Amino acid sequence: MIQPEPQTSPGLTSPTTTGARRRNTVGFWVAKLGIVVWIVVLGLILSLAAPRFLSVSNILIVLTQSSIIAIMAVGMTFVIISGGIDLSVGSVAGFASITMGMLIVPQTMYRDPAALLNLGRDPVVLTKAIVGALLIAALCGSINGLLIAYAGLPPFIATLGMMGIARGTAAYVSAGYPAYGLPEPIKFLGQGKIGGLPMPIIVMVLVALIGHLVLSYSTFGIRVFAVGGNRNSAYLSGINVRRTQMLIYILSGFLAGVGAVVLSGRANLAHPDIGLGFELFVVGAVVLGGTSLMGGKGGVIGSVLGAVLMAEVQNGINLLDIPVFYMQPILGAVIVLAVYLDQVQKRRGGG
Please state, in angstroms and rounded to a whole number, the distance separating the CA atoms of residues 177 and 111.
10
CA 223 – CA 14 distance, rounded (Å): 12
Q: For residue 223, what pLDDT is reported?
A: 96
Radius of gyration from C-alpha coordinates of the chain: 21
Least confident of 101-110, 114-123, 224-233, 300-309: 114-123
Of 126-135, 177-186, 198-207, 309-318, least confident by mean pLDDT is 177-186
Q: Of 102, 105, 122, 111, which is closest to residue 272 (Cα–Cα)? A: 102
Encode pLDDT of 294-334 as tens digits: 888 899 999 999 999 989 988 888 888 878 777 778 777 77
Closest CA to 96 of 334, 237, 301, 270: 270
pLDDT category of residue 11 using cuts at 50, 70 and 90: very low
Residue 109 has pLDDT above 50, yes or no: no
The answer to whether 78 touches 213, Cβ cutoff 8 Å, is no
Distance CA 24, CA 18 (A): 10
Which residues are registered as beta bridge partners of 197? 194
Least confident of 5-19, 37-51, 252-266, 318-332: 5-19
In angstroms, the Cα distances linking 347 to 31, 341, 351 are 17, 10, 8
| CB of 76 closer than 8 Å to CB of 306 | no
Q: How many CA atoms lie within 13 A of 337 on its CB side?
A: 8
**For the ranges 20-29, 71-80, 95-104, the one whose mean pLDDT is highest:** 71-80
Taking a C-beta distance cutoff of 8 angstroms, is the pair 71, 303 a contact? no
Q: What is the DSSP string of 42-100?
A: HHHHHHHH-GGGGSHHHHHHHHHHHHHHHHHHHHHHHHHHTT---TTHHHHHHHHHHHH
Q: How many CB atoms lie under 10 A from the CB of residue 280?
A: 16
Please report, as a single letter, which amino acid is at residue 219: T
20-36 pLDDT per residue, tens: 454 455 555 555 567 88
What does the pLDDT read at residue 340?
Answer: 76
Q: What is the mean pLDDT of residues 205-222?
A: 96
- Give me the phi and psi of 193, to 5 degrees please: -135, 150
Spell out the residues 6+ positions from residue 189 whose beta carbon is closer than 8 angstroms to its own. Answer: 199, 200, 203, 261, 262, 265, 266
Residues 46, 117: Cα–Cα separation, whole Å: 43
Domains and CATH numbers, the chain: 15-347 (1.10.3470)
pLDDT of residue 318: 85
pTM of the model: 0.85
Least confident of 21-25, 141-145, 164-168, 261-265: 21-25
CA pseudo-torsion sign 116, 118, 121, 125 = negative
The Cα 66–Cα 76 span in angstroms is 15
- Secondary structure (3-state) at 153: coil
The CA–CA distances, whole Å, from 72 to 40, 116, 198, 217, 292 equal 24, 29, 18, 21, 17
In terms of Cα–Cα distance, which of 1, 174, 188, 23 is closest to 100? 174
The distance from CA 175 to its chain's CA centroid, rounded to whole angstroms, is 27
> Between these two residues, 170 and 321, which has the higher pLDDT value?
170
State the chain's mean pLDDT as an integer: 84
